[in-house]
Amino acid sequence: MPFVPLVPFCGWLLCLLCLFVADVLRDLLRSEVNVLVNQKILVVGGSGDIGKAMLSRFLADEAVVFATYNNHPEALAAFSQNPNFSAVRMDVTNLASVEAAYEEIQTKGSLDSLVYNAGITRDNLLLGLEEKDWLEVIETNLNGAFRVARTFGKIFFRKKAGKMLFISSVAGTHGGRGQSNYAASKAGLEALVRSLAVEMAPRGVLVNAIAPGPIESKMTKDVMNLASEEVLRRIPLHRLGKPEEIAAFTAHFLSPEISWVTGQTFAIDGGFGL
């Protein structure tokens, strides 16, 4: 039998062991830093300022992200090259469209979390507020949330796990001048969250809401143009919030670490409600 030197063999084995340990450590470190690694998240309403900030954060944390758009897919073009991103058309005011999006997403696997971020404003003082403006806001902000929750809730109900997070507003609690329709839709949304939390808890599904205060975004631009000093006076930190701050809170909340909170609305508002 020919003699086989053990030193080269041991060196080769040690090299393989080092590579294996390095891979394990890398995965452990990545999971600690990026809390959403491999989590599958649906963001309904991803084309606004807060929505885009969420998409950027979730993808940076290596989540698998689905984002919906209605009429303007180009709004999500910046994310299209990321292999973990998929854009899906959905009109939350149309049940058939919501169900079609559900079927499309189902072909790509299950979900771990859903974020309902769809919302519109049609601000006006009561005497100038037309009925169509009232109905459009309620239809998107509240009725749309119901359609999405009922349709996609089946996923979480079956798997006995998951998170549903709805983006509300401080207007739902505190109201706002010229925002009776918007405030009513968000107050209704928070009541919906509390009821769904009770219904879904036996299946291990967490249902919560985030209520941002005034944020630097296109949606709040009109409000700031009308009453910027009044708004800033009500914020103890005396500045508007940033979309990235909402995204950061959301990312942490969707992480597996948060598992014993449901039926709550969290005000991220710089102290606006104090």
pLDDT tens digits for range 259-270: 999 999 999 999
Question: Residue 67 has what pLDDT?
Answer: 98
Kindly report, residue by residue over 87-109, the tens digit of the pLDDT: 999 999 999 999 999 999 999 98
Kindly report, residue by residue over 52-89, the tens digit of the pLDDT: 999 999 999 999 999 999 988 999 999 999 999 999 99
Percent of the chain with pLDDT over 70: 84
For 267, the token pair is 């005000």
CA 226 from chain centre, in angstroms, equals 29
Question: Residue 28 has what pLDDT?
Answer: 43
Kindly report, residue by residue over 190-209, the tens digit of the pLDDT: 999 999 999 999 999 999 99
Contacts of 58 (CB under 8 A, 6+ apart): 36, 39, 41, 43, 65, 247, 251, 254
* Mean of per-residue pLDDT scores for the chain: 89
Residue 231 has pLDDT above 80, yes or no: no
**If you average pLDDT over residues 225-248, what whole number do you get?**
85
Question: Residue 16 has what pLDDT?
Answer: 57
pLDDT band at 229 (very low <50, low <70, confident <90, very high): confident
Return the C-alpha torsion angle 187, 188, 190, 194, nearest 10: 140
Question: Residue 110 has what pLDDT?
Answer: 93
Question: Residue 234 has what pLDDT?
Answer: 87
Extents of the domains making up the chain:
1-33, 37-268
Residues marked as catalytic: 182
**If you average pLDDT over residues 141-166, what whole number do you get?**
97
Question: Residue 256 has what pLDDT?
Answer: 94
pTM of the model: 0.86
Pick among 3.40.50.300, 3.40.50.720, 3.40.50.2300, 3.10.350.10: CATH of 37-268: 3.40.50.720
Question: Residue 33 has what pLDDT?
Answer: 60
Kindly report, residue by residue over 14-39, the tens digit of the pLDDT: 555 555 545 544 454 444 567 899 99
